[in-house]
Structure 1
Amino acid sequence: MKQIPSVDTGFQIWWQLMRPHTLTAAFVPVFLGTALALKYTELHVFLFLAMLIASLLIQTATNMFNEYFDYKRGLDTEESIGIGGAIVRNGVKPKTVLNMAFLFFAIALLLGVFICSVTTWWIGLIGVICMAVGYLYTGGPLPIAYTPFGELASGFLMGGVIIYISFYIQTGFISNAVISFSIPIVLLIGAINLANNIRDRVGDKEAGRKTIAILIGHNRAVILLVALFMIAYLWVFILFFSVYSSFLLYLTYLSIPKAIKAVNGFKGKKNPIEMMPAMKLTAQTNTMYGFLLSIGLCLSYLF
């Protein structure tokens, strides 16, 4: 198949391959888990940085596996919308993408060894499970991305487990509060996955996928996205009245306009390229919400 010339060169190609709009699912949970830990302990900078970099590497490697396996299964073509495009449009060899993903996994594993040496080796087991899920998301005989469980897997592992680990390596324990604070991030990271699946619904259906967006249809999937946003914002009330009564938690509401724009960007849209801005706005909502929640927590410790 003839390659369509691309205006992307060098760093742009690899940056797009990393799919930067998805990396919010990696760094927001680390920031929030660490912010929650600061109530109980001083910041262990090197543990924080190791966890942050490892999470980003695992997410980036997962994106590269996604690109590689979607290409191998014929899902990605030169005309596909919203993918990194390194293989089908920029001419990067598939093997190079796969090897780069494994290299990122290896570096993340080394960082995990450092974290385990300071904390507990049980963290290593959890980390390996997270990496296995990252690979199996689009790899293996039955990729998770081809099932209705993609949102659940990404939301729980990235929004839940990463927050718990980030908190634990700083404090040495897990509290009910950290579990409660993880709920909205689980929902919002699941929303990122759902937004991606809404955009790709038609093409994914032709490829044999059975995502939630495919099973319930475009309109109901958008309603589900609205529900995830609403629960995430209503959850702040639960946190305020049951876990941590600081009005600074309501800083998260500054991100509501992003969520509204994301939803409106999906309504009445059928063409994938028309839904690209809405998908990015969904990721930006998670970023703003998570950062504002973390900032609110840190500021509350000062008063």
Structure 2
Amino acid sequence: MESNIQKNSKQPIEANRGFQVWWKMTRPHTLTASFVPVLLGTALALKNGHVHIGLFIAMLIASMLIQAATNMFNEYFDYKRGLDTEESVGIGGTIVRDGIKPKTVLNLAFSFYLISLLLGVYICANSSWWLAVVGIVCMAVGYFYTGGPVPIAYTPFGEILSGFFMGMLIILISFFIQTGTVDSSSILLSVPSMVLVGMIMLSNNIRDLDGDKENGRKTVAILLGKKKAIYLLAIMFTFSYVWILGLIISGIAPLWTAIVILSVPKPIKAIKGFIENNVPLKMAPAMIATAQTNTIFGFLLAIGIFIGNFFS
């Protein structure tokens, strides 16, 4: 009887399909990297007047679906390359831990892309069809981040590309679909989001540094080493706050955006967590604090912009 139990425990438990399993597969703590930029871009557009709620909702859902699909591609390709095991640290590993079939994960990711494409048609029809090209490029980057012969995540360009496409570009698209243009202030105010989204990836790579090195990756964290990668993380956190201060002084950002300072405890927690711990499992809270920095900073910045628009 014991042998049968052991044998069955090694087989995929396809019946384990509870909501928590499917929700975990989207890696919800990373979804802030998609909806916060949409909120910021829309907040910036308010200064030009009316906001189209339908376009806002469509952009929000499409961005989150692309992010979730990107996470699922990551899940699938990490499994295919043998990088995920039941002992892997993190919320990935749905295939090896929860028994979800690899093909199911891949099909669900492509289904999310399909829904995003349909939403993109609606967005383009109400703004500009040039956005179709931009959207397809964004989706391609999402797929090739961990897919293809040379995944972006295995190179030193992961932070830069994820920050640009999931941070700055989403803000600018969200601004454009509401206003029909992109101005200098929207570009400048999107820089901290680009930086902080990139830092989510850097924090993940700091945590996984040893394992990634064994698997032949060449991430920024590996090239710099843990100590210098943490320095870079701290510098980029500091840069984000100083950047907003500079925009306030120059009159580009309203004074109210200074409330981003309330998010400072999160990056401090992240840096301390990485400095004090070397075990991946113990560094996980620092990685979460980095993601929360992006979330709270972005929300506070959006609130500051909303209030600034109201009193301008």
Same fold (TM over 0.5): yes
Gaps of 5+ in 2: 1-8
Q: Indicate yes or no: 2:144 matched with 1:133.
A: no
Q: Indicate yes or no: 2:180 matched with 1:172.
A: yes
From 217, 223, 232, the equivalent of 1:224 is 232
Quickly say closer, same or farther: Cα 1:99–1:242, change in 2 above 3 A.
same
Name the counterpart of 1:147: 155
> Partners in 2 of 1:253 and 1:198 — Cα distance?
25
Q: Indicate yes or no: 2:91 matched with 1:80.
A: no
What CA deviation, in whole Å up to 9, does each residue of 1:3-55 have, x standing for no partner? 699xx750111111000111111001000000000000211000000000000
The answer on whether the counterparts of 2:244 and 2:253 sit within 8 Å (CA) in structure 1 is: no
Q: Indicate yes or no: 2:285 matched with 1:277.
A: yes
From 17, 20, 28, the equivalent of 2:36 is 28
From 228, 241, 246, the equivalent of 1:238 is 246
Q: Mark the structure with the bigger radius of gyration.
A: 2
Superposition deviation, residue 119 in structure 1 = 0.7
Superposition deviation, residue 138 in structure 1 = 0.3
The answer on whether the counterparts of 2:259 and 2:304 sit within 8 Å (CA) in structure 1 is: yes
From 192, 198, 218, the equivalent of 1:210 is 218
- TM-score w.r.t. the length of structure 2 is 0.94
> Partners in 2 of 1:210 and 1:145 — Cα distance?
9
Superposition deviation, residue 157 in structure 1 = 0.5
Superposition deviation, residue 187 in structure 1 = 0.5
The answer on whether the counterparts of 2:253 and 2:305 sit within 8 Å (CA) in structure 1 is: no
Opposite residue 241 of structure 1, the aligned amino acid is I
Opposite residue 110 of structure 1, the aligned amino acid is L
Opposite residue 93 of structure 2, the aligned amino acid is G
CA RMSD of aligned residues (A): 1.5
Name the counterpart of 1:257: 265
Q: Indicate yes or no: 2:123 matched with 1:115.
A: yes
Quickly say closer, same or farther: Cα 1:170–1:86, change in 2 above 3 A.
same
Opposite residue 142 of structure 2, the aligned amino acid is G
Gaps of 5+ in 1: none
Aligned pair count? 302
What CA deviation, in whole Å up to 9, does each residue of 1:79-100 have, x standing for no partner? 0000322101000000000000
Aligned-residue sequence identity (percent) comes to: 60
> Partners in 2 of 1:154 and 1:169 — Cα distance?
21
> Partners in 2 of 1:294 and 1:227 — Cα distance?
23
> Partners in 1 of 2:301 and 2:64 — Cα distance?
20
Name the counterpart of 1:300: 308
> Partners in 1 of 2:294 and 2:170 — Cα distance?
15
